[in-house]
Structure 1
């Protein structure tokens, strides 16, 4: 792209910086989770189940930001490895509520400590006030992007 083009300056783009931070966070999490035999999606699934036991495949997929198909494969593997249980038949409708096993809970506890160490490292150069400001700024950005846009103001 030439300098005359109206492209985004990646050096000053907050969106690009957020994506770069997200990628760096994911890589750091993968690095500490790998020795535990899991990845970020595996960890996210276990964490979601610890906080909300009985979630369905679709709910877990949404919470872990993956497709239902990807989550289904992961759940089959987690069930085979003894980390989660699912009933053979859905108690109501089609959804199979998933729950952590004691083995899954122990695995999650180790992973949580590893992931927490990454977050501590990520925030280590910030003051408490900076952390609070960043938290509120990110929450505001998420809200702005997930809420319906305001109606156009005035008349054309």
Structure 2
């Protein structure tokens, strides 16, 4: 037990953080051979689902700062994975879109990430997976509510 009285082995919050860290490490491992990391993948996935997102929206969705996302977007644009207009059509927002190359790279990355999720859930039955999904959604709702 720690000095403040919390037994980390029995702390659900600690276990969730440990699970999150293990998931991220496993995702990084399968994305690395594709020349990506989790933030890169998250950005491409967000753009596939919602084309035209701004730098700020992408940063929020990928849980990084606007500055970090801007650096990533510049790199993705140089590599040919995304396009952004030279000038903002409205205000200061530069809407970002995936290119065909970006879509192909995302397909490979999505398959790799799905394999990690399948491995993560392999010890659970379908009802247990459904229950875990519902429980986690409830926790998120309670904390954001």
Q: TM-score, normalised by structure 2?
A: 0.98
Q: How many residues align?
A: 145
Contact 2:81 2:99 (8 Å CA) reproduced: yes
CA offset digits 1:62-110 (Å, max 9, x no partner): 0000000000000000000000000001000111000000000000000
Structure 1 unmatched runs, 5+: 148-156
Q: Let me know the Cα RMSD of the aligned residues.
A: 1.0
Report the equivalent of 2:119: 121
**Structure 2 gap segments, 5+ residues each:** none
> Where does 1:1-156 land on structure 2 (aligned, <5 Å)?
5-147=3-145
Please give the alpha-carbon distance, in whole angstroms, between the structure 1 residues aligned to 2:30 and 2:3.
Answer: 41
C-alpha displacement of 1:4: 8.7
- The C-alpha deviation readout for 1:117-136, integer Å capped at 9, x for no partner, is 00000000000110011000
| CA shift for structure 1 position 5 | 3.9
Residues 127, 82 of structure 1: alpha-carbon distance in 2 compared, 3 angstrom cutoff: same
Q: Structure 1 length normalisation: TM-score?
A: 0.91
2:2–2:8 Cα contact (<8 Å) kept: no
CA distance in 1, matches of 2:62, 2:3: 37
Counterparts in 2 of 1:32 and 1:100: CA distance versus 1, 3 Å = same
Q: Which is richer in helix?
A: 2
Detail structure 1 runs of 4+ shifted over 4 Å in the superposition: none
